[in-house]
Amino acid sequence: MTHQAKYTQLIKSEAKRLGFLSCGISKAEFLEEEAPRLEAWLEKGMQGEMRYMENHFDKRLDPRLLVEDAKSVISLLLNYFPSETQNPDSYKISKYAYGTDYHFVIKDKLKSLLSFILEEIGEVSGRAFVDSAPVLDKAWAARSGLGWMGKHSNLLTKDVGSYYFIAELIVDLDLEYDHPVTDHCGSCTACIDACPTQAIVEPYVVDGSKCISYFTIELKNEIPSSFKDQFDDWMFGCDVCQDVCPWNRFSKPHAEPLFDPKPELFEYSKKEWEELTEEVFADLFRKSAIKRTKYIGLKRNINYIKNKS
């Protein structure tokens, strides 16, 4: 067995032990196919007010600009599919935000994996990424054979659907590389047909500036009144395109206690959400991704849905 094969086996086995769904590896090189797509998407203004998407264009496409002498991109998936979901009659939160902020949970696992690599393999330079740096997570995961890009632009996997986080380690270590899998969306248009704001403007292209997740999380200004009756009670994020996807019939509940929600999240009625105070918000979402929208943002979202006429 070559060194590359041995190291690859070690890393994948440790990733599994740490609780990752799967691990795939790609050669660290320029993302030639993604470059024109990203450029066209930005030129059409589909990033809306997410100005950070315009920054570090070259770094987004070439991991060697993020980690000196990078050789491999190790992509990892972590399941967040919950065993139960919110009361459909209340205001809704995207499933990924039910528990502790995924950044904390995954960063710890990535640090453990990097420490393991240093202990078992030796002097390896690398960096961990959890969607907080200019890395095209889904593109790398697809290149590494962990799934294919669905028509809703999320990564899809035959066995487990799409309810998982994607993270990477970029390292200066030669490893064995995986290959992309084939697209299994076929003629299905469930996600396109179901999107409440018609944000999936064509297969595989999402206009971020029309997406409910963008409006409820990223947008800092007032939400345009033209979408008033289209929010379907989503106050943070939106799961519609994933909920209707046939591949998500195969989603299985996660086994990560930190992703379990506080009971109140499922118990609150619409009225209780409407009366939410800043103190309760701070306590309920202390280590939650929902802090990103801040109290004022969540209240704005709730008022927007409530006053949809």
The residues carrying an active-site annotation are 131
Q: How far apart are CA 198 and CA 304, in angstroms?
A: 19
Which amino acid makes up residue 11? I
How is residue 236 written in tokens?
Answer: 């943070």
Q: How far apart are CA 164 and CA 77, in angstroms?
A: 6
Q: How far apart are CA 173 and CA 8, in angstroms?
A: 10
Neighbours of 79 (CB within 10 A): 21
Q: How far apart are CA 97 and CA 94, in angstroms?
A: 6
Asked whether 237 and 288 are in contact (CB, 8 A), the reply is no
